[in-house]
Amino acid sequence: MFELLKTDAHSKARLGRLTTPHGVIETPVFMSVGTQASVKALDPRELREVGAEIILGNAYHLSIRPGIEIIRAAGGLHRFMSWDGPILTDSGGFQVFSLSRIRKIKPHGVEFRSHLDGTLLFLGPKEAMEIQRVLASDIAMVFDDCPPHTSTSRELQAAVERTIRWARECREQPRSARQLVFGIVQGGAAPALREECARALVEMEFDGYAIGGVSVGEPEPEMMKAIEATEPFLPAHLPRYAMGLGTPAQLLELIARGVDMFDCVLPTRVARNGTAFTRRGTINIKAAPNKADFRPVEEGCDCFACRHFTRAYLRHLLNVEEILGLRMLSVHNTHVFMKVMADARNAIAAGTFGEYRREFAANYRPTQRVLLARAAAAGR
């Protein structure tokens, strides 16, 4: 159940509360990505400490390793990974359609080769929903066709038609107790296709709606236009989820456009390369000036890494390839994303979101390294 608690007077920003079988989620929310049943470099205790409310798993990857029977025997994904909070699972549609050279589209799904050993596999609406039923995630995503941003008009139209047809098949499948199911709107950068897809999915009465096919390599203005073309056709009383996004600055712009839920691999991915997010942009901890810099990663940050370690120490750990370095940067980066969301929620509640958004944008400066990493992370 989703409760819309407040809307911003000067934008489309929303304050909400989503109730799931494993807990309540305050929105806007950033969801940490745990594709393989683990958020890279972080354990459940650390995720709780930085304020994580919900994490993601991926049906495609988990069905291959460790295999759905192992997770079934464990009692579901929550028990398997020792996370007692909400979990959203992606259906694997994006991953399957990214295997363009080794897959064949069929009426009821996709035949493809495993990216691990080449085994012939098939995944469609029935299979994706069955996997997610066994995983017993709190939120399951429908199986969709996510085309690349370079697709032709004909290809986009075909992808939308498949997405609608497969969403209907997903809607008919059994689900685990109290499991929510979200539809996914496709349509590329074509406003008419976005509207067509959104209207068709809304008629099916899903529990929430995601905006897919964004952050797949397209320029940022095109991504924002796709969001803006979709949002007006999504029900105001249900949660909206922009898949695979984004940087802290992007998240605030998307909140202002009426989106409630986000996920992205950036916080932990760039940490492994020595990059730290701050409220003023990004820092390359490996850079020479940090060799004797005994300040925390970010002044005023109260995460575990900033309370206990200096830039100089973390730089040393990264340079000698000690795993603690990338773990602590992952803690810090994830904390930053959670703090931005918490501050956004507080600002919406106080009626000061516009001021908070403007101030953040004026001070935030991403580095080229993060821009490149963002491109590498494009997609779900």
Choose among 145, 194, 196: nearest CA to 170: 145
Choose among 329, 268, 273, 266: nearest CA to 303: 329
Choose among 164, 166, 185, 165: nearest CA to 230: 185
Catalytic annotation present for 302: no
**What tokens appear for 171 in the block?**
């809607």
DSSP annotation of 241 reads: E
Contact 39, 46 (CB under 8 A): no
In the chain, which ranges are continuous DSSP H helix? 44-49, 59-62, 68-74, 77-81, 93-97, 125-135, 153-172, 191-203, 220-230, 248-256, 266-271, 304-308, 311-319, 323-350, 353-363, 368-376
Catalytic residue among 8, 90, 144, 293: 90
Chain centroid, CA 254 distance in Å: 13
Q: Helix, strand, coil: what percent of the chain each, to 5?
A: 45, 20, 35
Catalytic residue among 8, 144, 260, 263: 263
Catalytic annotation present for 263: yes
Distance CA 93, CA 307 (A): 40
| Contacts of 42 by beta carbon, 8 Å cutoff, 6+ apart | 32, 268, 327, 330, 331, 334
CA–CA distances in Å: residue 35 to residues 60, 127, 179, 263, 320: 9, 18, 19, 11, 28
DSSP annotation of 76 reads: S
Give the burial class of 119: count Cβ atoms within 10 A of its Cβ; 0-12 exposed, 13-18 middle, 19 or more buried: exposed
DSSP annotation of 378 reads: -
- Residue with tokens 């898949």, as numbered in its chain: 243
Q: Catalogue the active-site residues.
A: 90, 263
